[in-house]
Copies of this chain bind each other. A is one copy, B any other.
Amino acid sequence: MGTRAGIVVTGTEVLTGRIADRNGPWLADRLLELGIELAHITICGDRPDDIAAALRFQADAGVDVILTTGGLGPTADDMTVATVAEFSGRELVLDIELEHRIAAILRRLMERYPGADFEAVMAANRKQALVPAGATVLEPVGTAPGIVVAGTPTIVVLPGPPRELQEMWPAALATHTVQQAIAQRSRYRQETLRMFGVPESELADSLRHAETEVAGFDQLEITTCLRRGELEIVTRYEPDGERSYRKLVEFLQAEHTRALYSTDGATVDEQVAALLAGRRVATAESCTAGLVSARLTDRPGSSAYVAGGAAVYSNEAKTAVLGVDAGLIIEHGAVSEQVAEAMAEGALRRFEADIAVAITGIAGPDGGTDEKPVGTVCFSVKTADGAGRTETLLLPGNRADIRERSSTVAMHLLRTVLLGS
Contacts and interface: CB of A to CB of B under 8 A. Distances in A.
Interface string A271-306: 000000000100101011111111011101111001
A345 to B, nearest CB: 15
A88 interface: no
A318 to B, nearest CB: 8
A225 B13 contact: yes
A44 B53 contact: no
A2 interface: no
B300 A289 contact: no
A302 B289 CA distance: 11
How many identical subunits does the complex contain? 2
Contact of A313 (B77, B306, B397): B306
Nearest to A53: B61
Nearest to A44: B40
A200 to B, nearest CB: 6
Contacts of A61: 50, 53
A25 interface: yes
Given A16-B223, A25-B17, A25-B20, A200 B74 contact: yes
Given A294-B291, A300-B399, A314-B307, A41 B15 contact: yes
Contact of A73 (B39, B200, B301, B309): B200
A75 interface: yes
Contact of A204 (B76, B309, B366): B76
How many A residues touch the partner, as a band?
Answer: 35 or more
A387 interface: no
A199 B123 CA distance: 14
Contacts of A254: none
A351 B320 CA distance: 7
* Closest 6 pairs (CB-CB, A-B): A290-B290, A17-B25, A290-B293, A308-B317, A17-B28, A309-B311
Interface of A: 11-13, 15-20, 24-26, 28-29, 32, 38-46, 50, 53-54, 57, 60-61, 73-77, 106, 109-110, 112-113, 116-117, 120-121, 123-125, 143, 161, 163, 198-205, 207-208, 222-227, 232, 234, 280, 283, 285, 287-294, 296-298, 300-303, 306-314, 316-317, 320-321, 350-352, 364-367, 393-394, 396-401, 403
